[in-house]
Structure 1
Amino acid sequence: KADLAFNLQETHQDITEYIDFATQKFVHLANTAPCGPVQFNLPLRKPLMPTLGNQDNVLVKQLSFSKPSQIKIDIPPITAKRVLILAGPNVAESYSDALLAFSQPYHVPVIADILSRVRTPETIHGIDYLLKFDQVTDELKPDLVIRFGKTPVSAKVLQWLKHANIETWHVDLNAGTDHSRHVSRAILMPPRDFLRQAKVVLSEEQQAFETNWQLINQKDKQLVHEMAIVSALNRAVSPKTPIFVANSMPIRDMDDFFTGFNTQTIYANRGANGIDGVISTALGMSVTTKKRSLLLTGDLTLFHDMNGLMMARNYQLPLDIIVIDNNGGGIFSFLPQAEATEYFETLFGTPLELDISKIASLYQLSYVLLKQPEDLRKVLNQPTDGTRIIVYPSNRTQNVRDHQKYIGESL
């Protein structure tokens, strides 16, 4: 985080030009590794009333920031017998084509985080529940893991690398700063450059290693209720649809069950992993593309940024908001505090008893009540304008049982 102060705005041209310059510089800074928030300290003059009716044209000189040239780092041939790629969340340019060109001929399986933008039906998904239900056996243990991107959504996968003492290379412009503190080698370069330069000395074990990972990835899983919404979404969305995902349960279920069958353009607010501002961010995403966008969220997250819906009403933004309405914070039912029955609902479950149809009415938005997950495709195929709220009622207690019973039995 950087704290940046502006000079007091005055009518002098030098001050205006400085603010134009500084604003562009700081936006560039916030998007340069290591990326992070920038705080603007902006003093204001009195009175605050502007000069209305001022028709003077404001000319802003556009700054041009050159991209770093391809980084040349000596990468020795990779000689590990079992090589695995872990593609974490990616906020930089996509490297999906380079990943495919590397992983296929070398038979390297790829665990793709839901936010990696490289997830396809051929990559490995659901690593969190595979580890939870002890499905990652010794024959699936790699000798070397090559990590790309930021901290994965799955907490278990980094714990697995550390506890199993698996050699790990972290390849990223911000490599080596991960909280897990389990990186054998930090390679400061973009994943695309690494994949184009790296070579693997194929072992006799590598192809069978890839096959074993693919077999475990192809097991059919019984999905019901909240989990089935993700499965239905996986098939229902049109190709390349941008999807924004709220934190807590939605991002975890997407990481576990969304295969990237039609789209890999998945986004979320990660970092502090809170639920504030999700509606506004998703609406902002919706104006960056010509395709109709989608948000998957819970009722508590919707409530925390409910007034962001005013932007949807005023500008008729093309966004479908799918709300899993389980009357509170679903993620806490999976955590140890769920055993503290005396105060769990008050402090963690936090039921709101919201009638979301009335929220849609308040902001003059379309509303659809989804009776079963299978109906999602039909709803999304119905043409509509502006923002639409699609609600699927659920139960937090039942959702915990569903995850334990159906996923465990499927594996």
Structure 2
Amino acid sequence: MKPFLKSGATILLTPSGPWQWVGWDGRLTISSAMHALHLSDAAIITEADVPAFTLLAPRQYTATAFADTPGTVSNAIFMDDKPTLSDKIKVNGAYPLLLTTTGTFTCLCAFPSTRLIPGGAIPDPLLAKSGTWKVIDPHQQVLFRKSAVPGRQEPCVEAQVAQMSHKEKIMAAINKSEISDALLAEIDVEALATSIVVVGVVLVTLAATGFGALVELVAAALLLTGAALSGYEIGSGLAHLADFYGQTKNATTCAAIEEAAGSFSTAVAKIGIGGVGAALSIAGAKQLPVKNILAREAKSPVKGRKAIKGWLKNVGNLEREQLIKDLKSADFKVIHEKGGRTVLQREGKKLKIRLDPPDNATPNNHMHITRGGDRETYNIDLKKVNYKTKEAHITIK
């Protein structure tokens, strides 16, 4: 029999469509207002309680295209999926919620998120936000195993694994891996999981045909940090990372999560956490999930023509602040900053790098590399190009 939910149970609210929570993981504690039936001194939650669920406090969000300033939602309307309720008993005419119960929610924005533009801001026009919810903790502690590493690992609940998202399975496996607590503290586990979900299918595809160029690019990235690894070591690490993606995607048991944790541990042992982050970033992830590993170990990723060419290949994956930080580490100084434009010049040199916001000619944030004015402009391969060509406008985040 599937477990009932008791007051104090936790559900996970997942946005549907182009929006996401900010500063909140979507976990919400729910309770019964009816108190019609008790189990172990706690009220069972029924479908009659669902309309009374509340966000408890205002929550921030951003819409994908309006993400510069977060907006606020103050409450939500909850509904359950009727077929997922218990059909065994009724409590005052209402069916109880189970561990496998799911539902939907809709919330209205009290304040919309905005996209900043020169001279003002554009608010998110879609004020109604919707999503789905599922149970992640029924508040029946008898189902939980003790954590092997208190304070680091959440207990694995066998009945929940099949209901977890791929991202949640990845996070659970990383937390169960053998990497040290100190190293784990350097990782943004959620960002790393998101990157693996996005890029993992690329790794799986490459694993079938050979990692080829990816091995060389990861080797070059690691060399900047002083780590010289063979192509065989890197290829082996990438293979274990691809296995990790597949194992977590297909996991339906706690044993499968443990097996995936082993693959992640091996991947990190082969190429280091910096190598994992570099591989994901080069393969196409939109963010480098390792907080300070590469930046901390490499004094500057943009000193020397060879180094800057490798760095330029990855600029599309770096945040603007990280670009500026990297350039400053290579003796570039900000010489102009106004209206979203930042110009940096290397001390004692004529080389300039200009970071520009979207304009009429280029719809994205972009970068120009020039020497001695716009007449001498370079592309991402440091080859001279005409300033007005698309190659001269290098896309950045």
TM-score range, shorter-chain basis? under 0.3
| Larger strand proportion of the pair | 2
The structure with the larger Rg is 2
Greater relative contact order (Cα < 8 A, sep 6+): 1
Could you tell me the TM-score, scaled by structure 1's length? Answer: 0.24
